[in-house]
Amino acid sequence: MSGFWGSRRIPLAWLLLTRQPARLAVALAGIAFAGILMFMQFGFRDGLFDASVILHRRFDADIVLISPRSSSSVSMAGFPRRRLVQAMADPDVSGITPVHWNLLLWRNPQTRGTRSILALGFEPGDPLFRDPGLGEKAGVLTQRGRVLFDERSRPEFGPVAQWFRQGRTVESEINGVRVRVAGLIQIGASFGADGNLLTSGETFLQLLPNTPSGSIELGLVRLRPGADRAAVVRRLEGILPADVRVLTREGFIDFERDYWRSSTAIGFIFSLGAAMGFVVGCVIVYQILYSDVSDHLPEYATLMAMGYRLTSLLGVVAREGLLLAVLGFVPAYAAGVSLYVLVRSATNIPVYMETQRALLVFSLIVVMCMASAGLAMRRLGDADPAEIF
């Protein structure tokens, strides 16, 4: 029996933390707050980046042609439509879809106020999105002046979806031209556009008559099954002039994300917010561990007088920091999941608790607690056994 008890180690770090429950609760609240702040900052940043490419992910294309002068979805320049026709010369190309893309002024049919909306014009018989149900809805666009309205657009565009479902005739103006809503689609507001609508290329040119003849903003290229997309991109780059840029579908998505990440202050702002949460957590954990070591300095000195090495006692402080990290991460994770649900319902920003982000925040919390424990260890060096006796 004595051998059993002699082999058991006293959980000194746990006993020291739980000796004062109020102090432990304050420490965990501070760590959880820092974790929640990092979760929200990283979540908003990644969510906004993902929201910026909601539309891009839906296109039915393997390769995308854009103008080299295009910088993002809010600044798409035109290029000759014949470049898309030239791409059909490649033996691996099976189909193309020319797309007009621009921000137009939509008039709220209820308040009569105007707001920019992203309009896409295409031939109703051509594939546009990977959604198979769009083909049936697009048939109504063959009539001039008809549009499909995105029911997930911001409410500032008016109760369009509600009125349409009630069987009412919903008419409005785009750039001063009268249009009628002939159906609803589901896309969602992006970071660059608060709403979306689809129309035919003919109607689009009617809404924006100054569009140069034969000019488009986007060219969708579909390849035959099994085709090497990278090889096709290289071949198209070789035969097409410099007034068009050839991208894979993934490259087109990265093109948009890179704009918001590098050309705007979004990434820096949210990363700075996460860094501030990290610093706040470090300060809180350091204060807690420093106070704990200071309060128990005579006990540490006694243990040193009994033969315990300083490295063993430093390990106790390190284990306290690790325990605080694990215990503080749990409520931060739970609160983060709940807040992500709230953000999605309130703003439609696609914020989800991803495993990679959870591991990143947990790692930062561990580093935060261990760094604070390392700073608090310097106080343990002041424990002098000679002062106890």
- Write the DSSP assignment of 250-302 as a string of letters: HHHHHHHHHHHHHSSSHHHHHHHHHHHHHHHHHHHHHHHHHHHHHHTHHHHHH
d(CA 379, CA 174): 70
Structure tokens at 215: 């000019």
Other beta carbons within 10 angstroms of residue 130's beta carbon come to 11
Structure tokens at 225: 């099954």
d(CA 1, CA 6): 9
Q: Where are the domains of the chain?
A: 11-51+265-387, 68-243
Question: Quick one: pLDDT at residue 260?
Answer: 83
Q: pTM of this prediction?
A: 0.74
Question: Quick one: pLDDT at residue 10?
Answer: 62
In residues, how long is the chain?
A: 389
Question: Quick one: pLDDT at residue 62?
Answer: 94
DSSP 77: P
Structure tokens at 90: 């490649």
Question: Quick one: pLDDT at residue 349?
Answer: 75
Q: CB-hemisphere CA count at 13 Å for 120?
A: 29
**Spatial contact of 68 and 61, defined as CB atoms under 8 Å apart:** no
In terms of Cα–Cα distance, which of 92, 93, 98 is closest to 125? 98
In terms of Cα–Cα distance, which of 362, 345, 365, 366 is closest to 354? 362
For the chain (389 residues), the mean pLDDT of every run of 10, in chain order, is: 45 76 84 90 84 88 94 89 93 94 94 93 91 84 94 91 93 94 89 88 92 90 93 93 94 89 75 84 80 71 68 76 89 93 80 90 89 75 55
Question: Quick one: pLDDT at residue 193?
Answer: 83
In terms of Cα–Cα distance, which of 361, 365, 371, 367 is closest to 289? 371
**Most distant CA atoms of the chain, gap in Å:** 97
**Spatial contact of 361 and 35, defined as CB atoms under 8 Å apart:** yes
Question: Quick one: pLDDT at residue 300?
Answer: 67
Question: Quick one: pLDDT at residue 296?
Answer: 67
Q: Phi and psi of 125, rounded to 5°? A: -85, -10
Beta-bridge partners for 173: 178
- For the chain, what is the radius of gyration of the CA atoms? 30
d(CA 298, CA 379): 12
d(CA 318, CA 323): 9
Question: Quick one: pLDDT at residue 78?
Answer: 93
d(CA 307, CA 301): 10
